[in-house]
Structure 1
Amino acid sequence: MWRIPPIGAPATVAVCAALALSLTACGGDGGGSPEGAGTAELEGRGPITFVTGKDRSGNLQKQVDAWNAEHPDEQVRVIELPDEPNDQRQQMMQNATTKSDAYSVLNLDVVWTAEFAANRWLAELPMAPLSGGSSPQAGKDEIDLSAMLPATIETGQYRGRLYAVPSTSDAGMLYYREDLLKKAGISEPPKTYQEMWDACDKVRKLPEGKDADCYFTEVNKTESMTISAVEAITSAGGSIIGPDGKPTLNTPQAKQGVEFLVNAKKDRMPKEAVTLDTEGGRRHFQSGKLIFQRQWPYQYALANADDGSSKVAGKFAVAPLPGPDGPGVANLGGHNLAISAFAKNKATSLDFIKYLTGEEAQRANLLATSQAPTVAALYDDPEMVKKFPYLPVLKKAIENAVPRPVAVKYGDVTAAIQGEMYDAVTGRKPAEKALSDLQSKLGPLTAQ
């Protein structure tokens, strides 16, 4: 993966702490909202585009078709970008830096909000007050976020203002072959790494499990490496960036987390682990060649498909991620919908975002894709829980999840993490050296 340089980021904007729960703490160029399109400029009606990653379910197009049938003068055209998040981000950045109006509504990874807002690439959105008080942007266009999970709301804000609406959430879960564990005499999923390794050893003594790989989390040199590093280090009690906004990698806890990835890749993962991306991991699990896997919720519906595409349909379950001494910590993922500051027909764009993020659309999306919704009530809906038994596990994971480093210069930060962690898991550097080098690289990027 190539390194994507920040474009137009104010030099005085500091990187927020990885564990910070509010983006209002980000430093900047004097406060207030970034210059550019604000809520007063959400005008214009007519055709728009929706820029997103691949829709493998076909559900997005169904929802767009339903919108288009009701809005003949405000048609939406879907523009699909590549699978790899870094490639998506690069294309969106290229469009923004040329101030092109080709992109209207952007489907952003949650960690991009600060970067895009700080660079003045997003229109500010009118948000209704979450509890009491009066809104500074009162009116019918306000976006009501009160029904959404609090953790997801934070991901759409920058300096206390709303720039993106939570569309889907995400948190890593442990997928495991429940059928094989039961045959091996194991009644519960593992809560610790050692319990997971012990379970693997027992399963691989079975005729059905002798050729299966034990475990997989992504360790390729992409955004997924940053996610794996956040989860491993945080589960060990460490962090990448501390509450003061400075890197915190020269700690025993960070070393323990990275050494887990190094040793797992060496002894427990598929031989081709460093070449497998999210979809590659999904196919490996669905082929029946994997006992345990760290994966996102979207895989659930695909792995349970009864069309012959999955050899593990009805044979797996999900649980919280394990950690060194007990349950681990998941990364907070998901996507937010934002309006390009350079788009035409922003009023139509705002209405389309409300449509896609409403409870009815999120319910349909959950049923079709098993992607995590942001509407809290769907996690407790008996019909949804019956169809997706993992929802209570996922809700708890999201509530306790930690984000990746929230950074205005996110491209530089994640590139540094990916590079050093890749060197560690491939044996190019000892874990301690990789962490020391990463500490040095992140220092200037987080300097106040």
Structure 2
Amino acid sequence: MKTRTIRALPCAATLVAAGLLLTACGSSGGSGSGEQAGSTSFEGRGPITYVAGKDTTGVVPKVIDRWNKLHPKEKVTFVQLPTDADSQRQQMIQNAETKSDAYTVLSLDVVWTSEFAAHQWIDRLPEQRFPLGRMLKPVVETAKYRGALYAAPASSDGGLLYYRSDLLKKAGVSGPPATWSQMKADCAKVEKLPEAKGMSCYAGQFQKYEGLTVNFAEAVDSAGGVVTDADGRPDVDTPAARKGLDFLAGAVKDGTIPKEAVTYQEEDGRRAFQSGKLVFLRNWPYMYALAGKSKVAGRFAVAPLPGLNGPGSSSLGGHNLALSSFARNKATALDFMKFFSSEDSAGTFLKEASLAPPYTRLYDEPSLVEQYPYLPVLKQSVLHAVPRPRVVNYGDVTSAVQQEAYAALTGAKSSAQALKDLQSALQKSTGQ
């Protein structure tokens, strides 16, 4: 299954959304007019904060400095949270629950938009202030909740298969693998090379955190299964889903995935690949620029993620800019969001940090494709990516996925038992 639809949630004084009782909901429909969206008035100018995970690219401060030089009376302070997504989400929620104005503009994982909007932790935005028509449609959809805009797409993300093109060529492999079995066969050939002594085959993000939810969902989707069906109901206890989880668990057991990879987040895998420990690695496009400055520069390439019977599906990633409902100086914040999410800024992040832009033109510009040959692969990854469940109580859903997937990867449970337990947990957390 390549796409999922999210059912519109009914507005009422009290509603049940994915098993969570809410006492209020935002207004639905269009974008509003003027400088108001819904009941929000974007007033006040002065200093604000931009809150995001730890910057591993070095580019974010440059873009913020550019704003600060142009707006000396409305300076932005960059508040860096931990690297892992779960900790970022938790700190943002804690700030919202205390109604603190310490956080102004939030960099949200695309899958958090619905949760933050439903709880009224972020403001509905005026659509006319952002060039949504120039962006990839799947990216724009991640910024909406119940048909209204609650965030500005700043970057997208699609999973890519990084591989050692030099070693595959020397081993007589003509191109990157399209299936998991082909990847294993390619590794067997590469590992016979003297240069590959001590290398492992494949890794992704398998520590018990949001990255594991992403990798698990990709494995399930790439085997023809789903985590939730088209109506948002959990449907993970299936033969297809088992094939996906069996691939991951079996690969850890037989050494295709090194045992230490169950501790890997994005940066751990990147460092392992760049130091010559891996033939293949699943990671995001941000890594391309960094690997291009490492010891494997000129010796790697990227391809679509492999799957069971052909190319697989990525989970849709990326970050959206949202405005805290409790922030001050919202007029400044709205202008900064437009600046930070502009096509010009997206081009800077692409050129200096290989981040996936939300703008269609940047994928199709011939000069950029020549300079960044991974762009066509990345565009297809984003366009065919499968969203993670966009539910109000996403924290409960991802926690259950991480718990059961990790149990299967570490051998604490069989894939069959893990999926059976996961189905039960998801039904409980979503109320379906």
- TM-score, normalised to structure 2, is 0.93
1:430 — aligned with what? 414
Aligned sequence identity (%)? 53
In structure 1, give the amino acid aligned to 2:48. Answer: I
In structure 1, give the amino acid aligned to 2:205. Answer: E
1:143 — aligned with what? 130
8 Å CA contact retained: 2:114, 2:144: yes
Q: Aligned runs of 1:145-184 on 2, under 5 Å?
A: 145-184=132-171
8 Å CA contact retained: 2:227, 2:236: yes
Q: What CA distance in whole angstroms lies between the structure 2 residues aligned with 1:102 and 1:228? A: 33
CA RMSD of aligned residues (A): 1.8
8 Å CA contact retained: 2:47, 2:73: yes
1:296 alignment partner, one of 280, 284, 289: 284
In structure 1, give the amino acid aligned to 2:429. Answer: L
Q: What CA distance in whole angstroms lies between the structure 1 residues aligned with 2:231 and 2:383? A: 22
Q: 1:57 Cα deviation (Å)?
A: 2.2
2:246 — aligned with what? 259
Q: 1:56 Cα deviation (Å)?
A: 2.2
Q: What CA distance in whole angstroms lies between the structure 1 residues aligned with 2:117 and 2:3? A: 20
1:78 equivalent to 2:78? Answer yes
1:26 — aligned with what? 9
Q: What CA distance in whole angstroms lies between the structure 2 residues aligned with 1:28 and 1:326? A: 42
Q: What CA distance in whole angstroms lies between the structure 2 residues aligned with 1:29 and 1:187? A: 58
Residue-by-residue CA offset, 1:321-341 (whole Å, 9 max, x unaligned): 111111011110000001000
Q: Aligned runs of 1:161-310 on 2, under 5 Å?
A: 161-267=148-254, 268-305=256-293, 310=294
Residues matched between the structures, number = 414
Residue-by-residue CA offset, 1:81-108 (whole Å, 9 max, x unaligned): 0101111001100000000001000000
Distance 1:26 1:208, change over 3 A: farther
Residue-by-residue CA offset, 1:170-205 (whole Å, 9 max, x unaligned): 010110000000000111111111111110000000
Structure 1, unmatched stretches of 5+, are 1-16, 129-141
In structure 2, give the amino acid aligned to 1:270. Answer: P
In structure 1, give the amino acid aligned to 2:115. Answer: E
8 Å CA contact retained: 1:19, 1:242: no
Q: 1:38 Cα deviation (Å)?
A: 4.0
1:369 equivalent to 2:353? Answer yes
Residue-by-residue CA offset, 1:341-388 (whole Å, 9 max, x unaligned): 000011110100100111111101111100100011000112221221
Q: What CA distance in whole angstroms lies between the structure 1 residues aligned with 2:118 and 2:403? A: 25
Q: What CA distance in whole angstroms lies between the structure 2 residues aligned with 1:29 and 1:232? A: 37
Where 1:402 maps in the other structure, the secondary structure is coil
Distance 1:265 1:347, change over 3 A: same
In structure 2, give the amino acid aligned to 1:322. Answer: P
In structure 1, give the amino acid aligned to 2:239. Answer: P
Structure 2, unmatched stretches of 5+, are 16-23, 28-35
Where 2:259 maps in the other structure, the secondary structure is coil
Q: Which moved more, 1:314-323 or 1:58-67?
A: 58-67
1:318 alignment partner, one of 294, 302, 321: 302
In structure 2, give the amino acid aligned to 1:288. Answer: G
2:368 alignment partner, one of 377, 381, 384: 384
Where 1:334 maps in the other structure, the secondary structure is strand
In structure 2, give the amino acid aligned to 1:108. Answer: L
Q: Which moved more, 1:71-80 or 1:53-62?
A: 53-62
Where 1:337 maps in the other structure, the secondary structure is strand
In structure 1, give the amino acid aligned to 2:26. Answer: P
2:55 — aligned with what? 55
Residue-by-residue CA offset, 1:98-153 (whole Å, 9 max, x unaligned): 0000100000000000000001000110013xxxxxxxxxxxxx322111110100
Q: What CA distance in whole angstroms lies between the structure 2 residues aligned with 1:39 and 1:297? A: 38
Q: What CA distance in whole angstroms lies between the structure 1 residues aligned with 2:257 and 2:418? A: 21
Q: What CA distance in whole angstroms lies between the structure 1 residues aligned with 2:322 and 2:102? A: 14
Q: What CA distance in whole angstroms lies between the structure 2 residues aligned with 1:67 and 1:158? A: 29
Q: 1:210 Cα deviation (Å)?
A: 2.6
Q: 1:277 Cα deviation (Å)?
A: 1.2
In structure 1, give the amino acid aligned to 2:288. Answer: Y
Q: 1:66 Cα deviation (Å)?
A: 1.0
Q: Which moved more, 1:358-367 or 1:31-40?
A: 31-40
Q: 1:278 Cα deviation (Å)?
A: 0.9
Q: What CA distance in whole angstroms lies between the structure 1 residues aligned with 2:251 and 2:150? A: 39
Q: What CA distance in whole angstroms lies between the structure 2 residues aligned with 1:324 and 1:211? A: 27
In structure 1, give the amino acid aligned to 2:9. Answer: C
Residue-by-residue CA offset, 1:273-302 (whole Å, 9 max, x unaligned): 111211000000000110011110000000
Q: What CA distance in whole angstroms lies between the structure 1 residues aligned with 2:408 and 2:37? A: 43
